[in-house]
């Protein structure tokens, strides 16, 4: 007689480790962004904190968060010319939003690169990190990035 308690495990679909890591990390980043301010105060230097603290006062608009995610994706893709073009095209906005965009894009880029370094055995690529930020945007806003 066969023990059928564990048969449900055979029916489960396998998921590659890399995709699982990216998915879990995207969930974690989305939770950190939902709680304002994110925990970037720990790693931001005192000089940068004084310079950009106006961005920590209140949660930025959804547009500012999306723009920060877009800048982080471009940074991870090493599309620096496109990043400069988008920064030049974007209207000024309030000083609070500009500061929040700067802090968030730096925070997201550093967190993703930290994951790549920490999970070196998974051999994450920059494309995986960009996909992670796409997943973060989907989790926060419920839509696919443009």
What is the pLDDT at residue 44?
Answer: 65
- Is 137 contained in some domain? yes
Q: Write out pLDDT tens, residues 82-93.
A: 999 998 888 767
Q: Write out pLDDT tens, residues 32-73.
A: 888 877 776 566 677 877 777 787 778 888 999 999 999 999
| Calpha distance 119→114 (Å, rounded) | 8
- Residue 71's domain spans which residues? 14-141
Grouping H, G, I as helix, E, B as strand and the rest as coil, residue 139 is helix
- Is 9 contained in some domain? no
CA distances from 30 to 1, 139, 146 (A): 47, 7, 18
- Reading the block at residue 99, the tokens are 């500061």
Residue 144: pLDDT band (50, 70, 90) is low
| Calpha distance 121→99 (Å, rounded) | 35
Q: Is the pLDDT of residue 132 over 70?
A: yes
Q: Enter the DSSP assignment of 38.
A: P
What is the pLDDT at residue 60?
Answer: 87
- Is 67 contained in some domain? yes
Average pLDDT, the chain: 84
- Is 81 contained in some domain? yes
More confident residue, 76 or 4: 76
Q: Is the pLDDT of residue 8 over 90?
A: no
- Is 19 contained in some domain? yes
What is the pLDDT at residue 40?
Answer: 64
- Is 1 contained in some domain? no
| Calpha distance 19→124 (Å, rounded) | 9
More confident residue, 136 or 39: 136
* Closest to 105 measured CA to CA, from 78, 131, 68, 70: 68
- Is 53 contained in some domain? yes
Q: Is the pLDDT of residue 129 over 90?
A: yes
Q: For the chain, what is the domain count? A: 1
| Calpha distance 56→58 (Å, rounded) | 6
- Is 79 contained in some domain? yes
């Amino acid at each position: 007689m066969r023990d059928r308690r564990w048969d449900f495990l055979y029916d489960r679909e396998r998921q590659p480790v890399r995709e699982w890591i990216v998915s879990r990390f995207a969930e974690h980043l989305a939770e950190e962004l939902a709680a304002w301010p994110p925990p970037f105060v720990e790693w931001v230097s005192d000089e940068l904190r004084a310079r950009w603290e106006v961005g920590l006062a209140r949660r930025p608009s959804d547009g500012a968060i999306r723009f920060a995610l877009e800048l982080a994706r471009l940074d991870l893709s090493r599309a620096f010319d496109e990043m400069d073009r988008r920064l030049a095209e974007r209207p000024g906005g309030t000083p609070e939003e500009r500061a929040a965009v700067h802090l968030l894009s730096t925070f997201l880029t550093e967190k993703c690169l930290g994951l790549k370094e920490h999970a070196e055995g998974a051999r994450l690529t920059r494309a995986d990190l960009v996909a992670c930020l796409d997943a973060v945007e989907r989790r926060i806003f419920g839509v696919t990035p443009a």
